């Protein structure tokens, strides 16, 4: 599972004097997002050069909560299983006010899913699994301690200026994916800046190694008795490591607060004087809810924290970044293979900026609730908490960080308008739902071929166009119930397993072709007419 945690610096390439290396795709940044993008592109047959300015995986837990959707994406890339085996699975959370438990919630109350709602796994473990997979992939070249310091747009791509441990060189890339984090050098090189809000309250993160009997749940406190006036969060991680977040307030000095002589008394007050623990890692952060005005800049694409930043309480940062990579990789591969035009790449901007806005909205609301500004906001927050102990409606107003949920891209023009006959199931733009199959397999694992997939439910469902993967499902089985389908129904899924179109009643194969072309940005008026006409015929 673990693999190496430090890597030998890669020598710079041997190039003739004055020569510039030529590459199709270069990814800058070897964190979870950049590695996910590299593995996904390789899965589609695209060679990738990945540059990282470090020679280790991350230090400290950092991102620890990986959502069901992220696990489904990593499962397609062959890395989810070792993470599941090492990670801590959880789905129950509890919310406290002072010493009182207000309520508990279950993130996956419905059975019949291959993956849990969340696993907790330190980022360095996740990165180790991703690096090991990338090292096995012949289409990925990893270069450690190669820092991309600048990018220069060109008519046919972009030129990267790179500093290696043994000298500088340049690379011309047809496409560049900037996954170089919140302090992105490529973003600075293009003179781009974030737009949004930075909140003043500061929070302490501590990784604590200890033997403890706390259950495997997410515990969040408003005004806990051990940390008056603030909030606190407790999460279990693998290897007997616990993640603790403590609200420090606006005036806290980050340099002072991360010192052990300040951290240890706070932890002893929370855990009790008899608790025995070791402090593994400490950081101080502020909530930031910001993004770039655009994620695409000609041939340069920003993904993950290089494109957007949100507060960590909802576990949206890394999960959203992985979904950025998932959204972009298949589109870039389709363009490079000549299956789609440049307009398809614009849909990355459209879809993932909408996802970022949704995450920023939810993060802002969570921040305003956790750290209310002004007496009126605090009184309202406290009234909601008081009601939440006995009134279920008030629990929907409590915001300790809405946990990461996948975004539906229904507002994008690359999906077919929904069939109004459906009473259940994921609509166009939403990610497909997993479901158990009769032979013990799982539905989404049958949709991992790398292309479009047609789900067909029983007799009367449409034929598939040549070369399209097909999954035939019983019209009365668990998948049909989860999808609201009946005999003759069909769903068309994109390579990233988002629904392109769905038909409740039988349609001709032309409707499927037109829906696929629309998803690739190729739809014409005649093709759209086939979709709508096919639906009317059904």
DSSP letters of 305-333?
A: GGTEE--GGGT-HHHHHHHHHHHHHHHHH
Helices and strands per DSSP (H, E), number in the chain: 14, 23
Q: Write the DSSP symbol of residue 442.
A: B
pLDDT score at 528:
39
Q: Angle 123-136/32-43 helices, nearest 10 degrees?
A: 30
Residues forming CATH 3.40.30 domain(s) in the chain: 444-537
pLDDT score at 523:
60
At residue 44, φ and ψ (nearest 5 deg) are: -90, 10
d(CA 440, CA 377) in angstroms, rounded, equals: 51
d(CA 314, CA 402) in angstroms, rounded, equals: 5
411 CB-near residues (< 8 Å, 6+ apart): 350, 354, 429
pLDDT score at 236:
93
- Helix, strand, coil abundance in the chain, percent, nearest 5: 30, 30, 40
Residues forming CATH 3.50.50.60 domain(s) in the chain: 21-87+118-194+291-362
Query: What topology does CATH give the domain 444-537?
Result: Glutaredoxin (3.40.30)
205 CB-near residues (< 8 Å, 6+ apart): 60, 61, 243, 244, 245, 281, 282, 283, 284, 285
pLDDT score at 499:
98
- Other residues' Cβ atoms within 10 Å of the Cβ of residue 182: 15
pLDDT score at 397:
87
d(CA 327, CA 133) in angstroms, rounded, equals: 20
Nearest Cα to Cα of residue 96 among 186, 230, 6: 230
Q: In a structure prediction context, what are the per-residue pLDDT tens digits for the chain, which is 538 residues long?
A: 344 467 889 999 998 988 999 999 999 999 999 999 999 999 999 999 999 999 998 887 778 889 999 999 999 999 999 999 999 998 889 999 999 999 998 887 678 889 998 899 999 999 999 999 999 999 999 999 999 999 999 999 999 999 998 999 999 999 999 999 999 999 999 999 999 888 888 899 999 999 988 899 999 999 999 998 789 999 999 999 999 999 998 889 999 999 999 999 999 999 998 899 999 999 998 888 899 999 999 999 999 999 999 866 545 578 999 999 999 999 999 999 999 999 999 999 999 999 999 988 888 888 888 888 889 999 999 999 999 999 999 988 888 766 667 889 987 889 999 999 999 999 999 999 999 998 889 999 999 989 999 999 999 999 999 999 999 999 999 999 999 999 999 999 999 999 999 999 999 999 999 999 999 998 643 343 444 444 433 3
pLDDT score at 213:
86
Work out whether strand 167-178 and strand 21-28 pair parallel, antiparallel, or are unpaired.
Answer: parallel
48 CB-near residues (< 8 Å, 6+ apart): 25, 26, 27, 37, 38, 41, 42, 139, 140, 141
Sort 48 into a burial class: Cβ within 10 Å, 0-12 / 13-18 / 19+: buried
Nearest Cα to Cα of residue 148 among 161, 164, 134: 161
Q: Write the DSSP symbol of residue 304.
A: G
pLDDT score at 524:
42
CATH code for residues 21-87+118-194+291-362: 3.50.50.60
């Amino acid at each position: 599972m673990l693999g190496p945690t430090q890597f030998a610096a890669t020598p710079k390439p041997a190039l003739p004097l004055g020569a510039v290396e030529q590459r199709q795709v270069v990814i800058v940044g070897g964190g979870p997002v950049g590695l996910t993008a590299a593995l996904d592109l390789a899965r589609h047959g695209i060679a990738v050069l990945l540059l990282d300015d470090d020679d280790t995986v991350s230090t400290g837990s950092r991102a620890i909560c990986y959502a069901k959707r992220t696990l489904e994406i990593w499962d397609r890339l062959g890395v989810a299983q070792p993470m599941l085996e090492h990670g801590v699975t959880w789905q129950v959370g509890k919310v406290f006010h002072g010493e009182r438990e207000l309520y508990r919630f279950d993130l996956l109350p419905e059975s019949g899913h291959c993956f849990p709602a969340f696993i907790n796994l330190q980022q360095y473990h996740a990165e180790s699994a991703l690096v090991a997979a990338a090292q096995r992939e012949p289409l990925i070249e990893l270069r450690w301690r190669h820092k991309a310091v600048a990018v220069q747009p060109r008519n046919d791509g972009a030129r990267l200026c790179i500093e290696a441990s043994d000298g500088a060189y340049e690379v011309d890339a047809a496409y560049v994916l900037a996954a170089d984090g919140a302090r992105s050098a490529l973003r600075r090189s293009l003179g781009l800046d974030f737009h949004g809000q930075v909140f003043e309250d500061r929070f302490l993160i501590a990784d604590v190694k200890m033997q403890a009997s706390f259950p495997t749940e997410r515990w969040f406190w408003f005004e806990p008795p051990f940390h008056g006036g603030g909030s606190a969060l407790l999460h279990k991680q693998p290897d007997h490591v616990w993640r603790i977040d403590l609200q420090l307030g606006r005036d806290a000095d980050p340099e002072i607060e991360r010192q052990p002589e300040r951290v240890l008394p706070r932890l002893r007050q929370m855990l009790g004087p008899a608790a025995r623990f070791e402090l593994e890692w400490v950081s101080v952060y502020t909530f930031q809810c910001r993004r770039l005005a655009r994620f695409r800049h000609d041939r340069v694409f920003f993904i993950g924290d290089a494109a957007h930043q949100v507060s960590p309480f909802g576990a949206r940062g890394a999960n959203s970044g992985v979904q950025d990579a998932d959204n972009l990789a298949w589109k870039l591969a389709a363009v490079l293979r000549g299956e789609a035009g440049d307009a398809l790449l614009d849909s990355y901007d459209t879809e993932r900026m909408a996802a970022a806005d949704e995450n920023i909205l939810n993060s802002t609301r969570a921040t305003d609730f956790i750290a209310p500004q002004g007496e009126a906001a605090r009184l309202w927050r406290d009234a909601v908490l008081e009601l939440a102990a006995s009134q279920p409606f008030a629990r929907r107003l409590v915001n300790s960080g809405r946990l990461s949920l996948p975004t539906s891209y229904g507002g994008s023009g690359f999906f077919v308008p929904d069939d109004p006959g459906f009473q259940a199931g994921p609509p166009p733009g939403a990610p497909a739902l997993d479901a158990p199959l009769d032979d013990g397999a799982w539905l989404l694992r049958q949709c991992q071929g790398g292309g479009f997939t047609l789900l067909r439910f029983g007799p009367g469902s449409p034929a598939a166009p040549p070369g399209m993967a097909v999954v035939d499902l019983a019209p009365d089985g668990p998948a049909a119930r989860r999808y609201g389908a009946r005999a003759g129904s069909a769903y068309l899924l994109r390579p990233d397993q988002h629904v392109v179109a769905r038909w409740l009643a039988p349609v001709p194969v032309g409707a499927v072709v037109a829906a696929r072309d629309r998803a690739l940005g190729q739809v014409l008026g005649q093709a759209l007419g086939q979709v709508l006409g096919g639906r009317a015929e059904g």
